[in-house]
Amino acid sequence: MILVIGAQKSGKGRYAKKLGFHKRDIIYNAHALVHKDPENAMDLVDELLKKEVVTINEVGSGVIPDDPILRAKREATGRVGAALAERATKVVRMVAGIPMVLKDETPQVQETPQIEQPQE
């Protein structure tokens, strides 16, 4: 699974679309799912990992809300994002529309070694 993180309006969705996966294989704005039930948000992780691409807001650098409900949603988003990042094969952070690869464990195709032909 490819995880695309970043601030709100950082280009996560545009980047995810450019990857070429069918839209049924992409979850946009996973933080919205987390906000529906922050107490049980970690239950979403296994389902999200079944998708090809997941986008989620990065919340670790923002303002911590005073409101306890908003703070719980923010903290749950951070926990889910961290769990996804740990298990994702690739993590891309979007900054001002520019993708920065933080992690890439995508299996690489090994080239078949060329066998030298004997010279006559």
Inform me whether the pLDDT recorded for 115 exceeds 70.
no
- The answer to whether residue 49 sits within a structural domain is yes
Q: Edge-to-edge strands of the sheet including 2-6?
A: 26-27, 53-57, 2-6, 90-95, 98-104
Q: What is the average pLDDT across 11-40?
A: 96
- CATH number of the domain within which 10 lies: 3.40.50.300
- The answer to whether residue 65 sits within a structural domain is yes
Inform me whether the pLDDT recorded for 3 exceeds 90.
yes
Total tally of structural domains belonging to the chain:
1
Q: Compute CA distances 6 → 12, 32, 67, whole Å.
A: 7, 14, 23
Taking phi over 0 as left and psi of -120 to 50 as alpha, with beta for the rest, 34 belongs to alpha
- The answer to whether residue 51 sits within a structural domain is yes
Confidence of residue 112 (pLDDT cuts 50, 70, 90): low
- The answer to whether residue 119 sits within a structural domain is no
Mean pLDDT of the chain, nearest integer: 92
Element (H, E) at 92: strand 90-95
Higher pLDDT, 116 or 72: 72
Q: What is the pLDDT of residues 52-110, one digit of tens each?
A: 999 999 997 778 889 999 999 999 999 999 999 999 999 999 999 999 999 999 887 76
- The answer to whether residue 118 sits within a structural domain is no
Enclosing domain of residue 86: 2-104
% of the chain with per-residue pLDDT over 90? 81
How wide is the angle at C-alpha 64 spanned by C-alphas 59 and 66, nearest 5°? 145
- The answer to whether residue 8 sits within a structural domain is yes
- The answer to whether residue 20 sits within a structural domain is yes
For position 117, what pLDDT does the model report? 66
- The answer to whether residue 26 sits within a structural domain is yes
Inform me whether the pLDDT recorded for 39 exceeds 80.
yes
For position 60, what pLDDT does the model report? 79
